Amino acid sequence: MRRREMASLLAASAVGTLLFPVRSKAQSASGSSTSDTSHADSAAAAGQPADVHDVRHYGIVPNSADAAASNTNALRSMLDPNRAGPGGLVVFPNTTGHDVYHFNGVIPIRDGTHIDLQGCTVHYSGGVTRGDVNSGLFFALREFTCVNGTISVQCDTSAATGSGHAIQIGARGTDSSHFTVWDSQLPLPLGNVQLRNLRLILNNSGTNAAGSAAIGILGGVENLVAENIAIDGSGVLALGIQYEFGWATNEPDPTRRQTSHAHNMRFSNIVVDKLAASGIALTLTGAFACVVDGLQVSAGNTAFLGYPGESMFYRAKTGVAQAGVKHAIELRNIVARNLGSTVIVLTGAQKASVGYFRAATAHWEPVDEYRAETNLGDFSLDGFAISGCAGFGIFASAGRAMIRNGTISGCQRGIVATDECVELLIEGVDVLDCQQHGMQLDIGVAIWNPPRTKKIDIRACHIAGNSRSSAEHFPGIEIGANTDSALIENCRFGYEKGYDGVTETTQGDALYVSSAAASNIICRQNHVGGLGGQAASAYHSAATGAAPANGNTIEHATGLTSASGNWITDFESRSPQSVHDYATIITQNLRTVRLSASAPASGVILGPGYSPGQTVTLLHEGAGPNTITFAAADRSHVADGRTDVITGLTARTYVWDAGNGLWYPSR
């Protein structure tokens, strides 16, 4: 620092000391409150109310790295949660405009403390201790506020896991030496916390750096607000904001304990940058009834990870978590780019065998295990932009997932859902230019055996330019075997010159139904503007030959309408089929078949149907005398066989009876 700058800083510091006399060591150790006369007098002189606590009155000095240890001891004494002391607003005056207060240890905080950093920086450095498991510089349980400033952390985390956080809210069991928390034994719940207008900069090192978070949250926290938070991970931070469930009771056997789960937490306007390559911006493990509104992530691995965790809500503490509410989390306005893996993970299924329940599950009946491990989380995602990420845009195993109003581009795949995501709504989403699938909804990962059937609703989406890694190999949307109801409606597939300014060159089938067992897939009012090549179909079903269509239907399609496999459609053949003696009339994927005979034709065969109640109308556009006469019923598949004659310039409708494999004329 230049001499002139140093002199200016010292002068400003001296002025501050004159205005706010520093408390003596005896006063600091006593923990006396704002009723202290000298404090009240100096506060009044500064025009501050007496219940505003200037940390400098308690022996804490700014702008001196050498004061880190004494500052830490003084602030611990001031805010010691185990004894009476000052409550209310605690301020860190910023007399120079860029004051830095140095600390070298965790500060456990008394309930009712509200910290205003007033634009200064609080710096936490040094080595953590063995007792600093799951802890941060500011460590509070409830009735806590921290606003308006910067917290920078540069700790060696080698001595304790989950250490070196900027802020820690809540605790779990005896993990930390600073607080012991069994939620059911607390006089008041954890929570009532506000974190606002903060910049958190972390640059930790040591063997446990992968467990460091900017903000750590544990236990049954309720009513927490974190908003306008900027997190700078310095390229090494593994966790931006991390929550994990807590212990409500303290039985020696963890499988017998009740668990506590955060709810009514809101995270707004969170910006996370410079995470480690494996970093996760926001993790909610075992939380419910939470809202994330405005999350921006530009480096790291994953933007949002929500999952039930090892506890699986199996023995949730009585109260809200057992009141029949769905374990739902709402996400809005998520922006992520250039991440190393899947961007948004919506997990509602968790195997017990990977956690502390693994021994207990050995005695469960399979169906009891399936129930315990699935439908553990519902998610709503509304408004997002995901681009240039190496993994999936969105991965869902939620019991119910609703994904709306967003864009995914340049990822490996757009949206992927496991077989445990049994209710899925996707609406108003663009999935563009991914390396493989636009949407893969049959990835085949299932806990239930056999997998349960699912219901899918996809509306008003634009799926184009995908399969960039291998042209035509991957479809826009893929749906699988255990689908018993799917509506794909008002969607646009493939780039089209007149709409997008470019033509489709890579995306394969617009829609691919990968199993003949899938049923009731209704494709309605979709437009296929382009396909990646001639081998691709607009609509492709694995059901072929005698396999039933299972109610899979294409209605009111526009653009390209090529169909492969068995579908029930409202299509009419583009040109008349020429009919002659012993000819076979092709009916696959047609509701109306145009025919023309240049002379009378006999022994004609009507191609078999593949769905009960399927109808087909034959339009004979040839001259009246050029009749079409069917072969015997066992060959023609027409119930009245040789007696069924269609004259020219007439039409006849037939209904397929799958029970005896015959078409019956509708007269």
Q: Which pLDDT value is given to residue 87?
A: 85
Kindly state the average pLDDT of the residues 93-115: 97
Q: Which pLDDT value is given to residue 397?
A: 96
Residue 89: strand pairing partners = 52, 114
Q: Which pLDDT value is given to residue 322?
A: 53
Q: Which pLDDT value is given to residue 70?
A: 98
Instruction: Give residue 502's identity as a one-letter amino acid code.
Output: V
Query: Two tokens at 653?
Result: 């409708």
For residue 460, how many C-alpha atoms fall within 13 Å in the half-sphere facing its CB? 6
Alpha-carbon gap, residue 130 to 661, rounded angstroms: 77
| Cis? peptide before 451, omega within 30° of 0 | no
pLDDT band for position 318 (50/70/90)? low
Angle value at C-alpha 204, between 200 and 209, nearest 5 degrees: 115
Identify the residue with better confidence: 353 or 399.
399
Q: If you average pLDDT over every residue of the chain, what do you get?
A: 91
Q: Which residue has the tokens 């978590």?
A: 321
pLDDT band for position 353 (50/70/90)? confident
Residue range 256-293, pLDDT digits in tens: 999 999 999 999 999 999 999 999 999 999 999 999 99
Q: Which pLDDT value is given to residue 78?
A: 97
Kindly state the average pLDDT of the residues 538-543: 97
Collapsing DSSP to helix, strand or coil, 51 comes out as coil
Checking if the pLDDT of 8 tops 90, the result is no
Q: Which stretch of DSSP H or E encloses residue 155? A: strand 142-156
Checking if the pLDDT of 68 tops 60, the result is yes
Collapsing DSSP to helix, strand or coil, 92 comes out as coil
Kindly state the average pLDDT of the residues 79-85: 94
Kindly state the average pLDDT of the residues 3-9: 37
Q: Which pLDDT value is given to residue 616?
A: 96
Q: Which pLDDT value is given to residue 362?
A: 81
Identify the residue with better confidence: 36 or 93.
93
pLDDT band for position 49 (50/70/90)? low
Instruction: Put residue 421 in one of left, alpha, beta given phi > 0 → left and psi -120 to 50 → alpha.
Output: beta
Residue 379: strand pairing partners = 329, 401
pLDDT band for position 326 (50/70/90)? low
Angle value at C-alpha 295, between 343 and 488, nearest 5 degrees: 55
Q: Which stretch of DSSP H or E encloses residue 6? A: helix 3-19
pLDDT band for position 546 (50/70/90)? confident
Alpha-carbon gap, residue 313 to 323, rounded angstroms: 12
Residue range 552-610, pLDDT digits in tens: 999 999 999 999 999 999 999 999 999 999 999 999 999 999 999 999 999 999 999 99
Q: Which pLDDT value is given to residue 40?
A: 42
Residue 263: strand pairing partners = 222, 288
Between the CA of residue 90 and those of 75, 138, 224, 337, 615, what are the distances in Å?
10, 13, 19, 38, 78
Alpha-carbon gap, residue 353 to 349, rounded angstroms: 12
Query: Two tokens at 150?
Result: 């910067």
E strands in 549-608: 553-555, 558-559, 563-564, 568-569, 577-578, 584-585, 592-596, 601-606
Share of the chain above pLDDT 90, in %: 86
What is the pTM for the complete model shown?
Answer: 0.90
pLDDT band for position 29 (50/70/90)? very low
Residue 115 in contact with residue 127, Cβ under 8 Å? no
Kindly state the average pLDDT of the residues 372-390: 96
pLDDT band for position 18 (50/70/90)? very low
Kindly state the average pLDDT of the residues 507-515: 97
SS3 sequence of 594-633 = EEECCCCEEEEEECCCCCCCCEEEEEECCCCCCCEEECCH
Residue 75 in contact with residue 104, Cβ under 8 Å? no
Alpha-carbon gap, residue 605 to 214, rounded angstroms: 73
Q: Which of 552, 610, 602 is nearest to 586 (CA)?
A: 610
Residue range 208-262, pLDDT digits in tens: 999 999 999 999 999 999 999 999 999 999 999 999 999 999 999 999 999 999 9
Angle value at C-alpha 4, between 125 and 116, nearest 5 degrees: 40
Residue range 402-436, pLDDT digits in tens: 999 999 999 999 999 999 999 999 999 999 999 99
Query: Two tokens at 657?
Result: 């009876």
Out of 6-10, 82-86, 166-170, 350-354, the most confident range is 166-170
Residue range 360-379, pLDDT digits in tens: 888 889 999 999 999 999 99
Q: Which stretch of DSSP H or E encloses residue 661? A: none
Alpha-carbon gap, residue 446 to 348, rounded angstroms: 12
Collapsing DSSP to helix, strand or coil, 352 comes out as helix
Residue 434 in contact with residue 387, Cβ under 8 Å? no
Alpha-carbon gap, residue 342 to 463, rounded angstroms: 19
pLDDT band for position 319 (50/70/90)? low
Residue range 437-484, pLDDT digits in tens: 999 999 988 999 999 999 999 999 999 999 999 999 999 999 999 999
Residue range 105-131, pLDDT digits in tens: 999 999 999 999 999 999 999 999 999
Alpha-carbon gap, residue 200 to 165, rounded angstroms: 10
